[in-house]
Amino acid sequence: MSIQRYIAANSPRFLDELVDLLKIPSVSADPAYGEEVVKAAEYVKEKLIASGVDTAEICETAGFPIVYGEKIVDPAAPTILVYGHYDVQPADPLELWESPPFEPVIKKTELHPEGAIFARGSADDKGQFYMHVKAFEAMLAEGLLHCNVKFMIEGEEEVGSENLDHFVQQNQEKLKADVVLISDTSMISLEHPSVTVGLRGLAYMQVEVTGPNKDLHSGTFGGSVANPINVLCKLIASLHDEDNRITIPGFYDQVQEYDAEYRKQLNKAPFDLDEFKRKLDVEETYGEKGYSTIERVGIRPTLDVNGIWGGYIGEGAKTVLPSKAFAKISMRLVPDQDHKNIARLFEEHFLKIAPPAVKVKVVPHHGGQAAVVPTDSIGYKAAEAAIQEAFGKKAIPTREGGSIPITALFQKVLGLDPILLGFGLDTDAIHSPNEHYGVANYLKGIETIALFFKHFHQLSREA
Amino acid sequence: MSIQRYIAANSPRFLDELVDLLKIPSVSADPAYGEEVVKAAEYVKEKLIASGVDTAEICETAGFPIVYGEKIVDPAAPTILVYGHYDVQPADPLELWESPPFEPVIKKTELHPEGAIFARGSADDKGQFYMHVKAFEAMLAEGLLHCNVKFMIEGEEEVGSENLDHFVQQNQEKLKADVVLISDTSMISLEHPSVTVGLRGLAYMQVEVTGPNKDLHSGTFGGSVANPINVLCKLIASLHDEDNRITIPGFYDQVQEYDAEYRKQLNKAPFDLDEFKRKLDVEETYGEKGYSTIERVGIRPTLDVNGIWGGYIGEGAKTVLPSKAFAKISMRLVPDQDHKNIARLFEEHFLKIAPPAVKVKVVPHHGGQAAVVPTDSIGYKAAEAAIQEAFGKKAIPTREGGSIPITALFQKVLGLDPILLGFGLDTDAIHSPNEHYGVANYLKGIETIALFFKHFHQLSREA
């Protein structure tokens, strides 16, 4: 098939272009990288044009811009809207990277005998959305593009996609499509190709506990006044009970309980608990009582402290009783849990349980709704067919723990179910030091995406 | 009296010399300041010589040096050993200082209408030990020095005085004295002069909790693996019960309980709870149930987290499930609690309560024994008489929450009870941003120290 030949012939350049994109430190969370984020947007626009779109533009928002590009081959043909993001997570802790996060290197690993690209954003999401740009180029070059394509690549996914809502609302006509295709999730493995059919939502909070109005000497004052770190630890500890269930009143009210049959099916996905523990070097897993690991990340909400700080954190010992302590706390939500409601419940509860000896501030950072993808749509069937053709295997439907808040927005505003056709692996270390993305995953992904276009076109005609 | 005249005439220079000493950032806890610590030692030696000692030397240790100097006026006369420290606490958080910590400025405040010197170490302990150097100069110049004096000024007090033990053991003959005089504590106020008769001990620990072997994405893994921050908070929270008593088994075994009469006397010290709360801007105090604030810092042990960190602590939001979390935890101890035993109990308990899903490391930092000073000694009586003469008031004996581990060492090795004649105030913000020391406290302290020498000499002859 000519798509595969085209990919094989052009793969060095496909990799080079991705490497150049990965060199741009487009960290949206850190204001210091503001210019770099914009630079990444410009790079994406250029490459869309070079790959053959009719038009491409940088759409300003109140935050970082959205890159939009489209190719209309036939107004009567089905249209695929590709969503991705060119911003990346912060790279720290830097000292744990084996090579600098913005100096991509390709290295072979046990899991990636053909090599993996090590760089921040390689899997999340530059390497993944860029597959679409290259699949598009390949289809166009080979005369195999029979669907219209619209690209919407944003720069604020890692900070909550705050301005995308407004953009989508304002551009419903422009974004009109038959399906949204997103590669920002992972599959089980290249041997067990899977399609994500569920994603958790997110509510991200920052809390600040203030004890005395200034740092004090822990000898002179220790025991007489509330230590904000001790209190913060107490508050955080109280957010889970002995069974590791979250104690915020009302938190589980909207959580869907699944029947035994559904849970049985879910637990059939290939998963090796011993291997999981060995890879993470933990003696035991840890989570909500009564659920398997697959269920804990798939169908159960969770609460994690993502960061904590307060007092003296330098070398050596300092006997300070600090004035303030802080934590970043996020909750992963399941369908029907509204992230705004959960943020409110968290805030109310946290303020309520704080003792009067401290002052507490709660600031919601950002959030997103959970999503479930139906498996009876043309889009899902096209994904299944593409995987069958590319891998020779039936796709396994999986529920993933992460959040792509935008999926709920597409469903609500555009009425489109997203197809979550991701090619990353859980071991890619996204959001961690040494993030990487398999070269084979990248090239196989490009092929599978082109096949998705083919099958979506065929199935749409048959429907 | 000529001492007072001499102080008045020389006070600008006395202040200038202190200011020069405060300009040296002798932070013993931070290796980056190593050279500055040594520079401070050299400055102290120079000033001892300029003030008139017979000999002064820099005594090397395995860590920072000890400055020793002496003036023997008469081998038959009583000898006073002055202890102090020229090292200081780290200055961070720097952004909370109103003027740079190592650029001393004198400013008037509500409590210090004659001005206070703002600088790291101004009260703890440079400003306080330097009073002894200047009292010595004044007595010598005015022909009023009738006691021998030995200065031992160390550079590791803020990091646990680790090498002083060995030095004192090896130099018992050289350090032979009739009393140890230390100004490294505070008094209630210039209106309520007090002498410290009890100090708490200290056990300082660092703990490290490891969950997975690398940072993970909190969406993909949240809920399936122990989050070391959540676990650390749970462990720390469990160290206190509902009555704010410490839950470490055996922790209170050696804690002395006091009878009602003793506690009544202790609570007679001038203390305004409303003023205390107002100054610290707290709605309520917080501490062990069944004890007053004075008791909580005076006769009860405490446990405070001095620092905590883990995960993402930068700007914005990062959905990381971190690999590690850390805390610095210190316990203030009361007489009979052995700091090494308590450190061992802490470690055993902390390792025991950690769930098997994490790995825990406990590293003891440093410690020191609590101390009680008898009030029937010549030294204490001389302090009372000096305060009576300088302030026209009877000294109030107080128990202070802080620790000067060296006091227990003097009692054990040299058989000397220390006299804790401090002139700082609890509001001096030692170990905090904007540390300061009242100019009036400094000058009144010099006078009182000279009077202590006078009365110690007289009372020794009468004994």
Q: What is the ipTM of this complex?
A: 0.77
pLDDT at residue A1, as a whole number: 54
Q: How far apart are CA B382 and CA B209, in angstroms?
A: 51
CB A398 within 8 A of CB A194: yes
Interface of A with B in 93-132 (CB under 8 A): 93, 96
* Average pLDDT of the residues in B53-67: 97
Give the mutation candidate from A30, A125, A218 for the B interface (greatest B CB count, under 10 A). A218
Architecture of domain A201-255+301-368: 2-Layer Sandwich (3.30)
- Residue A1, SS3? coil
CA-based nearest distance A201→chain B, Å:
9
Interface of B with A in 433-462 (CB under 8 A): 433-434
pLDDT at residue A367, as a whole number: 85
Statement: B201-255+301-366 belongs to CATH 3.30.70.360:
yes
The number of C-alpha atoms within 13 Å of B16 and in the hemisphere containing its C-beta is: 4
Does B247 touch chain A if contact means CB atoms closer than 8 Å?
no
Contact partners, residue B279, CB within 8 Å, separation at least 6: B427
Q: How far apart are CA A148 and CA B310, in angstroms?
A: 47
Both tokens assigned to A204: 């991200």
CA-based nearest distance A322→chain B, Å:
7
Q: Which one has a higher pLDDT value, B372 or A402?
A: B372
Q: Report CB contact under 8 Å: A314, B29.
A: yes
**Length in residues, chain B:** 463
| Residues B87-96 pLDDT 10s | 999 998 898 9
Both tokens assigned to B63: 């860590």
Does B325 touch chain A if contact means CB atoms closer than 8 Å?
yes
Q: Residue A428 gets which letter from DSSP? A: G
| Residues A194-220 pLDDT 10s | 999 988 889 999 999 999 999 998 888
| Residues B377-436 pLDDT 10s | 999 999 999 999 999 999 988 887 777 778 888 988 999 989 999 999 988 989 889 999
Confidence of residue A87 (pLDDT cuts 50, 70, 90): very high
A459 burial (CB, 10 Å; 0-12 / 13-18 / 19+) is middle
A353 burial (CB, 10 Å; 0-12 / 13-18 / 19+) is middle
| Residues B277-308 pLDDT 10s | 999 999 999 999 999 999 998 899 999 999 99
* Average pLDDT of the residues in B208-236: 94
Is the predicted pLDDT of residue A173 greater than 70, yes or no?
yes
- Residue B173, SS3? coil
Give the mutation candidate from B286, B315, B331, B437 for the A interface (greatest A CB count, under 10 A). B286
Give the mutation candidate from A88, A209, A230 for the B interface (greatest B CB count, under 10 A). A230
Q: Which one has a higher pLDDT value, B107 or A406?
A: B107
| Residues A111-135 pLDDT 10s | 899 999 999 999 999 999 999 999 9
Chain B positions touching A292 (Cβ under 8 A) are none
- Closest by CA position to A18, among listed A47, A54, A45: A47
Interface of B with A in 134-193 (CB under 8 A): 158-160, 186
Does A357 touch chain B if contact means CB atoms closer than 8 Å?
yes
Contact partners, residue B136, CB within 8 Å, separation at least 6: B51, B52, B53, B71, B145, B149, B151
CB B35 within 8 A of CB B64: no
Is the predicted pLDDT of residue B335 greater than 90, yes or no?
no
Q: Which one has a higher pLDDT value, B411 or A231?
A: A231
Is the predicted pLDDT of residue A157 greater than 90, yes or no?
yes
Residue A268 CB neighbours (<10 A): 10
| Residues A260-314 pLDDT 10s | 988 998 898 889 999 999 999 999 999 999 999 999 988 999 999 999 999 999 8
Domain spans in chain B, listed from the N-terminal domain onward: 2-199+370-462, 201-255+301-366
- Closest by CA position to A53, among listed A148, A167, A176, A168: A148
Statement: B2-199+370-462 belongs to CATH 3.40.630.10:
yes
- For chain A, give the percent of residues with pLDDT over 70: 100
Interface of B with A in 401-440 (CB under 8 A): 401-403, 426, 429-434
Strand extents, DSSP E, A10-107: 55-59, 66-71, 79-85, 105-107
Please name the amino acid found at residue B266: L
CA-based nearest distance B230→chain A, Å:
6
Interface of A with B in 291-310 (CB under 8 A): 293, 296-297, 300-310
CB A350 within 8 A of CB A209: no
pLDDT at residue B1, as a whole number: 54
- For chain B, give the percent of residues with pLDDT over 70: 100
pLDDT at residue B407, as a whole number: 84
CA-based nearest distance B389→chain A, Å:
28
Question: In this complex, which of B31, B216, B432 lies closest to A216 when CB atoms are compared?
Answer: B432
Q: By CA distance, what is B227's nearest residue in A? A: A304
Ranking A376-380, B1-5, B67-71, B255-259 by mean pLDDT, the lowest is B1-5
Strand extents, DSSP E, A47-200: 55-59, 66-71, 79-85, 105-107, 116-118, 148-154, 179-182, 194-199
Q: How far apart are CA B81 and CA B411, in angstroms?
A: 13
- For chain A, give the percent of residues with pLDDT over 90: 81
Question: In this complex, which of A160, A280, A305 lies closest to B225 when CB atoms are compared?
Answer: A280
CA-based nearest distance B10→chain A, Å:
32
Q: How far apart are CA B239 and CA A124, in angstroms?
A: 40
User: Distance between the two ends of chain A, CA-based, in angstroms?
Assistant: 26
pLDDT at residue B172, as a whole number: 96
CA-based nearest distance B41→chain A, Å:
21
Q: How far apart are CA B345 and CA B343, in angstroms?
A: 6
**Length in residues, chain A:** 463
CA-based nearest distance B419→chain A, Å:
18
